[in-house]
Amino acid sequence: MGKTIKKTAIVTIAALIILSGLFYFLFPLISPKSASDIYWNFGNKTQTVKYSEKAYEKDKTFDNLLTLCDRAVWAENCEVCAAYIPKLLSDGEFKSYAENTDGSGVYSGSTIYYYACELVSAYCVLDLEDDALNAAYTYTTEYTAVNPLRTVMIEAFSENNKDFCNKIYNFFTEKNFDYGGKYSSDMQTLKTYALS
């Protein structure tokens, strides 16, 4: 009788281990969005982004793209931000989403600027200076305290990169980017820093 109990216990434990393993490996394949949500709740940044990306690639919906971008920003995953935020900003549903954001303070500045600033920052971290400059130029559409142009400047300043500061200054000067003199002090700061 003792052998039967031991055998039953071993078989039960082995079955539980096998079922747990199958669940762990098969569940994300069947429902990557749910797997991402589970990892999100546990605070596992890498797996959250991985399965958010799989969920988006599976159905290409705006909601999954938005979730992926938000979670990539949270996880500070610059590669995913650089790959998917441009898709988000150019998505037809994004404009409607951005206009319906109630400004509850969830994001710094406007919703578009929030994602554009994160994109510019990701490009800078990945040393894609030209992409960062083009994104800053494309998405800085008005003078505000938080915008992609200032984000690219802050990234250059924080890295103490005078060459990049000079490159930013020259790029925006060539584009005649000033918004009626509103950015003249920012441009002067760049020029002074680059020449110091």
Six-digit token pair at 4? Answer: 């039967």
What pLDDT is recorded for position 5?
80
pLDDT of residue 25: 66
What span, in angstroms and rounded, lies between the C-alpha atoms of 72 and 66? 10
Give burial (CB, 10 Å; 0-12/13-18/19+) of 127. exposed
Give the predicted TM-score (pTM) of the model: 0.80
Is 81 within 8 Å of 119 (Cβ atoms)?
yes
pLDDT at 106: 47
Residue 101: predicted pLDDT: 61
pLDDT tens-place values along the chain, 196 residues long: 677 888 888 889 988 888 877 676 666 667 788 888 888 888 889 989 999 999 999 999 999 999 999 999 999 999 999 999 999 999 988 877 877 665 554 443 478 888 999 999 999 999 999 999 999 998 887 777 778 888 998 899 888 888 998 898 888 888 877 666 777 777 788 778 777 7
Q: Look at residue 27 in the predicted model and tell me its pLDDT.
A: 63
Is there a single domain that holds both residue 1 and residue 90? no
* Pick from 192, 126, 137, 127: nearest CA to 165: 192
Query: Do 10 and 77 fall into the same domain?
Result: no
If asked whether residues 74 and 94 sit together in one domain, one would say yes
First-to-last alpha carbon distance for the chain, in angstroms, is: 87
Closest CA to 48 of 56, 58, 37, 57: 37
Residues 24 and 83 both lie in one domain: no
Give the count of domains, the chain.
2
Confidence at residue 54, expressed as pLDDT on a 0 to 100 scale: 93
One domain for residues 92 and 25: no
- How far apart CA 37 and CA 22 sit, in angstroms, is 19
Q: Are residues 139 and 155 in the same domain?
A: yes
What is d(CA 132, CA 87) in angstroms, rounded to the nearest whole number? 15
Q: Please check whether residues 77 and 160 belong to one and the same domain.
A: yes
3-state secondary structure at position 179:
coil
How many residues appear in the chain?
A: 196
Q: Residue 168 is part of a domain; what is its CATH number?
A: 1.25.40
How many whole angstroms separate alpha carbon 79 and alpha carbon 53?
12
User: Does residue 22 sit in the same domain as residue 101?
Assistant: no
Measure CA 81 to chain center. Answer: 4
Provide the residue range defining the domain that includes 9.
1-30
DSSP 176: T
84 shares a domain with 52: yes
